[in-house]
Amino acid sequence: MRSERVKMGLQQAPHRSLWNALGVTKEEMEKPLVGIISSYNEIVPGHMHLDKLCEAVKLGVAEAGGYPVMVPAIAVCDGIAMGHIGMKYSLVTRDLIADSTEALALAHQFDAMVCIPNCDKNVPGLLMAAARLNIPTVFVSGGPMLPGHVKGCRTSLSSIFEAVGEFQAGKIDQDQLDEYEEFGCPTCGSCSGMYTANSMNCLTEAIGMGLRGNGTIPAVYSARIRLAKHAGNAVMELYRKNIRPRDIITERSIRNALTVDMALGCSTNTMLHLPAIAHEIGFDLDMRIANDYSAKTPNLCHLAPAGHTYMDELNEAGGVYAVMRELSKLGLLDLDCLTVTGKTVGENIKNALNRNPAVIRPVENPYSLTGGLAVLSGNIAPEGGVVKQSAVVPEMMVHEGPARVFDSEDDAIEAILGGKINPGDVVVIRYEGPKGGPGMREMLNPTSAIAGMGLGSSVALITDGRFSGASRGASIGHISPEAAVGGPIALIEEGDTICVNIPEKSLNVKLSDEELARRKAAWQPREPKITTGYLARYAAMVTSGSRGAVLEIPKN
C-alpha cells in the first residue's frame, strides 16, 4: 500500500496521531486508503445530490475491505455561468480539478480512488487526474436530470434558452416563458439532453472507466445508488488486481470513445476533452481525426438538442452498452480493451440488448451513415473547427453568406436580440478563444437566440469560442488558430463572403491568399482582457482549441 508512507513505521508516529485526531481506528489504518473525490455542492443542480452517492460509494468500499475518505472537487454550473464573466471560468476549471485532485491524492498517498463527477468539466478533469495519478480508479457520475414537461412536450434547458429568443421575437408571451422557466428543469442531475456532461459520462463508459449505466441512469433513480455501491466494490477489486487507469485509458480505448461519440451524436466539447485526456497518457489526438471516424461510423441516436428523445429514454433502450453492441456488428470497436469491470469491452457488451430501435437506431437503419460531429478546415480554420452536424438542418449543410463580425459574445447577443441579424448572414464571434477570452466561453445564448427567433435554418455562426452541448444549428466552434494569436478569423471584415460546406468539411472566406496576407501584415495583437488572477495565468499557459486547450509551460 502506498498509504503506508503516511500510516506505518516509526517515522509515521506523528502521522498516526493525526489519523487518531480524525477518529480513524488502528484497524481502519491497516486497510487500503481510498479517496472518494466528490463534486458535491449546493450551487450546481447536477451535483446537489452527490452526497447521497458519496455515502453509497463509501459503503461499497468499506464492505469490500477499504477505508474510504471523502475529499472535494470544485464545479461550475455552465447554465448559471452562461452569458456573463462566469463562463470564462467554466473550461478553466477542468485543469483546476485535475491539478487539485493530483495534489490531494499525492499529498495523502491514496491507494485508490472513486470519482463522483457529473457536470461538464468535472468528468474530463477527473479523467485527466486519474490518468495522471494512475492508481486504481472507478467513476460513478451523478446521472442525468429527467426532462421537463411544457404544453405536453418534453423539454430541457436548451428549450428554455430558445424560449427567450421566441419571447424576444414575439412568438410567445410572458406567461408562456414563465411556464418554461417553472417546469423546464424538474429534478437534480446533469441537464437531460445529450449535452456535454451526459456526453462525457457516456464516453466514460465507452473508455472503460465507468460501470454500465454510468452515463444514462437518471439522477433520481435508486438504481444510481446501487451503482455507486457497486463502484465502491469494484475499485477494491481493481486494487487487488492492480488494474490501473493507464491499463484502461489507452489510445485504443480513446478511439473506442471517439467512435461511440459519433454514434451518440455527442457535444462538440468532446473534441476538447478527449484530446486533453489523451494528452495525459502521451497520445496527441488531433481533432481533425474525427472526420475519419465520422466517415465510417453511423449516427444511431438523435437526443436533444438534435432530436426529441432524452437521456432517460436512452437508458430504458439499453444505454451505452446497447449502442456499443450495435457498433460491434460493424467491427467498429476494439473489443479487447480492458475496463473497470475487470473484463474486456467485448465481454461487457455481449448480452446488451437494444430495447427501443426508435431511440437507438440499429446499424441497418441509422439516422445517417456518418457520425454526429464533423471538423471543418479551410482558410478561416487551418487547424479546424467543429460542428455537431447531426443537429444541423438539411438546408444549412451548405451555406454562403455575408459575415457579421463581432469581437465578443456580448456584442453579438445585442445584435441578434436587437433584430440586426438577417436571414443568410454568417455571425462571426471572435477573441473568445482559450487565450483571447480567456477561457473559451460557450455560446449557448447566441445560438439559442438565433434558433428562438426563427433564424436557425438561415443563419450560421462561427467562433473561436465553443458551444454548449445544448446548442444546435450550423454552429461551428473551436476555430483554430484563434483570433488572439492572429488566426485568420481575426482577419475577417464585415460583409466578407463566408462559405460553409459541412459535407465537404470546408470553411472558407472568399478572399485571395494575397488579400489575407495583406490583412495579416496589418493585424496587431490585442491587449489581454484580463491581466491578473487565475485567468491571466491560464491564458499564458493554454494551447490551441485544436489541441484540447491543454496547459503547457511557455517556452522562452
Active site residues: 468
Alpha carbon distance 273, 203 (integer Å): 11
Alpha carbon distance 49, 228 (integer Å): 12
Single-letter amino acid, residue 545? G
In the chain, how many H helices and how many E strands? 21, 14
Q: What is the 3-state secondary structure (H, E, C) of 199-254?
A: HHHHHHHHHCCECCCCCCCCCCCHHHHHHHHHHHHHHHHHHHHCCCHHHHCCHHHH
End-to-end CA distance of the chain: 41
Burial class of residue 512, CB neighbours in 10 A (0-12, 13-18, 19+): exposed
Contacting residues for 383 by C-beta, under 8 A, at least 6 apart: 288, 377, 480, 481, 544, 546
Burial class of residue 76, CB neighbours in 10 A (0-12, 13-18, 19+): buried
Alpha carbon distance 350, 186 (integer Å): 35
b/e sequence 82-112, b meaning 16+ C-beta within 10 Å: bbeeebbbbbbbbbbbbebbeebbeeebbbb
Burial class of residue 125, CB neighbours in 10 A (0-12, 13-18, 19+): buried
Burial class of residue 400, CB neighbours in 10 A (0-12, 13-18, 19+): middle
Where helices occur in 400-530 by DSSP H, the ranges are 409-417, 444-452, 513-522
Helix (H, G, I), strand (E, B) or coil at 96: helix
- Contact present, 157 and 304 (Cβ < 8 Å): no
Alpha carbon distance 247, 250 (integer Å): 7
- Contact present, 120 and 71 (Cβ < 8 Å): no
Cis peptide before 394 (omega within 30 of 0): no
Scanning the structure block, which residue is given the C-alpha cell 462566469? 86
Instruction: Supply φ then ψ for residue 520, to 5 degrees.
Output: -65, -40
Across 15-66, the runs of DSSP E, i.e. the strands, are: 33-38
Alpha carbon distance 440, 87 (integer Å): 8
Beta bridge partners of 295: none
- Contact present, 409 and 441 (Cβ < 8 Å): yes
